[in-house]
Amino acid sequence: MANSDVDGETFHHFLRETRIRHGLTLNEVAERTGISVTHMSRLERGQRQPSIGVLRQLAELYGVGIGELVGETAAVQHKVVRVDTPLRPEESDNGPYTTLTGIAGHNGLGVVQLDISEETRRHRLSQHDDEEWIYVLRGRLELELGSETLQLGVGDSIHFDARTPHRLTPASRKATRVLIVCAPLRLRPPGNAHLTSSGTARSGAAAD
């Protein structure tokens, strides 16, 4: 991960220290995020790796960016990731990922580059209070989203409500790499426009 001298063991220690610094118990974190006490305990002891969704939930709870949460150097006023910058990915339930955002006082927007592992098929569906945008950089992506299963190729993208249970898995033997952008979900007051499941706008009159 860029600008990170932190190994996996330090991350789990940092995760526990962040919770304690905020004066929260494992039970309180579980109540506020929906992440089970057992899962949180295993994360803090280094027995499990977090999914990207879990990282988002914890970062929002603690008011930090994902980069700070995984133990990168303290947030700065701007973060530049150059094309020739050696990246040191962290491990997650979804596969190796690199955080591309993280500035002081701003933890709403999260951008990660993720190499999706076949292992994700064995993991639970993810849910978090964000809107999420995914862009396929390499390979093919299979996205379980609620009751639908979608396949996306290079150059395809999708924008969705991440409160909907979802899981990302590779849809081909070729390594699958995606760019994920998350931001806190802000619901707008009901209007006259209605959307179909495919994102096509319909007028209020046509929808009645």
Domain count for the chain, please give it: 1
Residue 138: strand pairing partners: 177
| 62 vs 16: CA distance, rounded Å | 12
The Cα 111–Cα 182 span in angstroms is 6
The reported pTM is 0.65
For residue 131 the two structure tokens come to: 């809107």
Is 195 a member of any domain? no
As a whole number of angstroms, the distance between CA 53 and CA 110 comes to 11
d(C-alpha 182, C-alpha 73), whole Å: 21
Residue 205 resides in a domain: no
In a domain, residue 206? The reply is no
- CB environment 158-174: b (16+ within 10 A), e (fewer): bebebeeebbbbbbeee
In a domain, 196, yes or no: no
Q: Is residue 94 in a domain?
A: yes
**Model pLDDT for residues 121-165, shown as the tens digit of each residue:** 667 788 888 899 999 999 999 999 999 999 999 999 999 999 999
CATH of the domain at 22: 2.60.120.10
Cβ neighbour number for residue 108 with a 10 Å cutoff: 13
Residue 158 domain boundaries: 8-184
Residue 207 falls within a domain, yes or no?
A: no
pLDDT tens digit string along 179-194?
Answer: 999 988 876 655 544 5
